[in-house]
Amino acid sequence: MARFFRRGKTRVYFLPSIASGTKAPTAAEITAGTELTGNINDMNGFSFMSETIDTPDLATTFTKNIPGPDTVDDSNLVIYLDSATNTLRTTLAKGTVGFIVICDYKPSGAVTTGDKVDTWPVTVSGVPKQYSMGNDPALWTAMFAATDTPAVDVTVL
């Protein structure tokens, strides 16, 4: 696959639940969820990785390591404030539990069966507004705590 620029290609959704125990959403669950894509100014985190544990020994000056615990970065979405309605601040209110679903490459059309997505079980941990006197749009941040292991590159059912 060719390299691509995320804007205009990556789609982000919030789903209140996923029925599958594998964290693989159905196309209907994604359609019934809330698409956040057009309201996102920036996104940070949503990285799933393993730490390493150093295992030095006296036999060498080289410090070997072994795989350690899996971790996730602090994750958030920076979202535009709406001057008339703020339905996303209700959908993503502090304490809300659900899933952030990210479809890396879907420039148009609905996410369908067979597409690949990442699903992040989350709780919204904070919703601070950002204030600026500069030439900036009004923004707020939806902060997320990962509540379980993310599912990466799962197939939409």
- What does pTM read for this prediction? 0.90
pLDDT of 2: 84
pLDDT at position 22: 87
What is the number of other CB atoms lying within 10 angstroms of the CB of residue 129? 10
Check residue 20 and give its pLDDT.
82
> DSSP state, 135?
S
Q: What is the pLDDT of residue 21?
A: 84
Q: In sequence order, which residues have a C-beta less than 8 Å from that of residue 128 and are 6 or more positions away?
A: 140, 141, 143
* pLDDT averaged per 10 residues in sequence order, the chain, 157 residues: 82 95 94 96 94 96 96 95 91 98 92 96 97 94 97 95
Q: What are the E-state strand segments in 16-105?
A: 34-35, 40-44, 48-55, 64-72, 75-80, 97-103
* Token couple for 28: 């209907």
Q: What are the chain's domains?
A: 11-155 (2.30.110)
CA distances from 28 to 21, 35, 82, 89, 111 (A): 16, 13, 27, 23, 9
